[in-house]
Amino acid sequence: MQLTFTDVQHMNTTTLVIGVAKHPSEAVQQVAAAINVPVVDFVKAGDVDTTAGALTKLPIAHDIVKRVYAIGLGDGKDISTETVRNGFGLAAKALKASNVTIALETFTNDVLDAQQAAYLAAEGLVLGGYNVPNYKTTSNAQDVTLEAVALLAEEDEAIMESFTVGRIYAEAQNEARSLVNMPPNMLTATALADYAVDLAAQFDLDVEVLTKQEITELGMGGILAVNKGSVEEPRVITLKYKGTDNWDDVIGLVGKGVTYDTGGYSLKPKDGMVGMKGDMGGAAAVLGAMRAIAQLKPAKNVVAVIGSTDNMISGEAIKPDDVITMYNGKTVEVLNTDAEGRLVLADAVVYAQQQGAKAIVDVATLTGGVIVALGMDKTGALTNDDALFETLLEASIDTDEFVWRLPLTENDKKRIRKSDVADYNNSPGRDGHMIFGGGFVGEFVGDMPWIHLDIAGTSEAKAASPIGQAGGTGVMVRTLTAFVEQLAE
Ligand code: BES
Ligand code: ZN
Ligand code: ZN
């Protein structure tokens, strides 16, 4: 719903959200006058925290508007996208109103227009209003929905559209979060494939699911090797989004869908194993992006391929020293069964190429090495194509998801290719090993333009943030979606 300033007297709202800088803007003063609340006086008295992204509930009692929340905009000059998104994320957690009005113009200035503000408000509210699904028998937490949100802004179709786009991005990210948060006994490879089939039906995507028998017949030795110790069947999930009339110029999004990583016989220590339900974060990011892409309908063809299995132990499981034959016919000496993600991805990228991909982005919780290198808040990247990477980097900057590129040198490749008994080894060493993980996948991509994203650090958050609880973050959903939208331009 959209309202204009003059509607404020009659607006059917109990709660108003405004953006307030250190020196309140013209728009704030107008709204303040319309609702008869002395916002400027509150600011002067220090009753409003105008720090960028801070949230204050104003001390008012009023007939029309029962509550006013102020999101701090700092000095009001460089209003960053993160400030607005985070502010609304906090607001989502605080709002208990049945309906909410956003005074959109109070968030705009020369660097941030009403469309952007609408997009960020929707994104922040949906992300901040997300609750981790749980299995408590007494739980009653509810996600924030946007049905009751009205925008107080100029009459403008484009603004409402932006609001919807923000909502699509954030809902897709929340879906990815929920997948990451799901317990591994519930989210098996089969269950993940079922999810993808439902997603395809809901949003009109093409879907194909390969069973263990089909994967065996095709000879996807990497995925089968990782799956060998499991009683759960593996799956290879393919989704296609057709954005143009011809199936050419296809971008491939490939995700690691390891539903649980025990490490296999190169067993993880008990403390390092907890949390490995999240080892399908790459798959979740890809599925989330496909969900958003299917709704936003960019003019770009996309194929998503997810290799999914758990990495378990049994009398049949692979062992260090095994030599396996991959889908593309190359052989790999398995030095570490815990370096399983690259084996799964290597087969998946080859399959994506067969499905028409002309460039590939793979996303994976691949190595602890990326956490050592970059910390928990930066996604690590490798690439063989500067121009493609530039586009992805821009998308990541636009969506405030930090991505940092590491080098992949000939010397690194030499070490991946070093084995006395096979074409490759899957674990050349622990020095700079994020590069070996991604570099291994790159060997199977070949010369095709390619970007590798290691989200081992960013896929899960240890603590809550303004736009999320602890747990799955759904990282890279926004970047991948914006990336595909940019490729379509
Ligand atoms: N799934 C892990 C990587 C991981 C670590 C994800 C921490 C999330 C948080 C991956 O399969 C793995 O075990 N990698 C090994 C590679 C090593 C054996 C070369 C690692 O990072 O230690
Ligand atoms: Zn592992
Ligand atoms: Zn893993």
Q: Of these residues, 342, 378, 413, 478, which one is catalytic? A: 342
Which domains are assigned to the chain? 2-135+143-155 (3.40.220.10), 182-488 (3.40.630.10)
Q: Of these residues, 57, 242, 268, 405, which one is catalytic? A: 268
Segment among 31-40, 59-68, 89-98, 276-285 with least mean pLDDT:
59-68
Q: Report the pLDDT value the prediction gives residue 143, as an integer from 0 to 100.
A: 81
pLDDT at 334 over 90: yes
User: What mean pLDDT comes out for the span 316-324?
Assistant: 98
Q: Name the residue with higher pLDDT: 385 or 98.
A: 385
pTM for this one?
A: 0.97
How far is Cα 85 from Cα 73, in angstroms, rounded to an integer?
11
Q: pLDDT grade, residue 35 (50/70/90)?
A: confident
* Cβ atoms of 254 and 306 closer than 8 Å: yes
Residues facing residue 452 across a β-bridge: 362, 382
- Pocket flag, ligand 1, residue 338 (CB < 6 Å): yes
pLDDT at 213 over 50: yes
398, burial (CB in 10 Å: exposed 0-12, middle 13-18, buried 19+)? middle
User: What mean pLDDT comes out for the span 379-383?
Assistant: 99
Q: Which of 24-38, 139-153, 155-169, 206-220 has the highest mean pLDDT?
A: 206-220
Question: Is residue 85 among the annotated active site residues?
Answer: no
* 163: nearest Cα among 149, 173, 174, 177: 149
- Pocket flag, ligand 1, residue 320 (CB < 6 Å): no
Atom of ligand 1 at shortest distance to CA of 278? 8
The residues, ordered by sequence, that sit 6+ positions from 151 with a Cβ below 8 Å of its Cβ are: 1, 2, 3, 101, 102, 104, 118, 121, 159, 160, 163
How far is Cα 60 from Cα 417, in angstroms, rounded to an integer?
68
Q: Report the pLDDT value the prediction gives residue 11, as an integer from 0 to 100.
A: 57
User: What mean pLDDT comes out for the span 303-310?
Assistant: 99
Taking all residues of the chain, what is their mean pLDDT, rounded to a whole number?
95
User: What mean pLDDT comes out for the span 128-150?
Assistant: 84
Closest-lying ligand to the alpha carbon of 336? 1
Segment among 135-139, 174-178, 371-375, 477-481 with least mean pLDDT:
135-139
* Side-chain half-sphere exposure of 257, counting CA atoms within 13 A: 35
Q: Report the pLDDT value the prediction gives residue 3, as an integer from 0 to 100.
A: 43
288, burial (CB in 10 Å: exposed 0-12, middle 13-18, buried 19+)? buried
CA distances from 106 to 96, 160, 204, 234, 467 (A): 22, 16, 38, 52, 21
Q: Report the pLDDT value the prediction gives residue 98, as an integer from 0 to 100.
A: 67
Question: Is residue 300 among the annotated active site residues?
Answer: no
- Using the mean position of ligand 1's atoms as its centre, give its distance from the Cα of residue 437 in Å: 9
Atom of ligand 1 at shortest distance to CA of 430? 19
409, burial (CB in 10 Å: exposed 0-12, middle 13-18, buried 19+)? exposed
Q: Name the residue with higher pLDDT: 238 or 3.
A: 238
pLDDT at 65 over 90: no
Question: 144-162, pLDDT tens digit by residue?
Answer: 778 778 888 887 899 999 9
Beta-strand ranges (E) seen in 89-184 are 100-103, 149-152
Q: Report the pLDDT value the prediction gives residue 12, as an integer from 0 to 100.
A: 61
* Side-chain half-sphere exposure of 458, counting CA atoms within 13 A: 26
How far is Cα 176 from Cα 466, in angstroms, rounded to an integer?
18
pLDDT at 99 over 90: no
How far is Cα 435 from Cα 412, in angstroms, rounded to an integer?
7
- Using the mean position of ligand 2's atoms as its centre, give its distance from the Cα of residue 340 in Å: 5
- Protein residue with least CA distance to atom 8, ligand 1: 456
- Pocket flag, ligand 1, residue 114 (CB < 6 Å): no
Neighbours of 271 (CB within 10 A): 7
- Protein residue with least CA distance to atom 17, ligand 1: 339
User: What mean pLDDT comes out for the span 408-420?
Assistant: 98
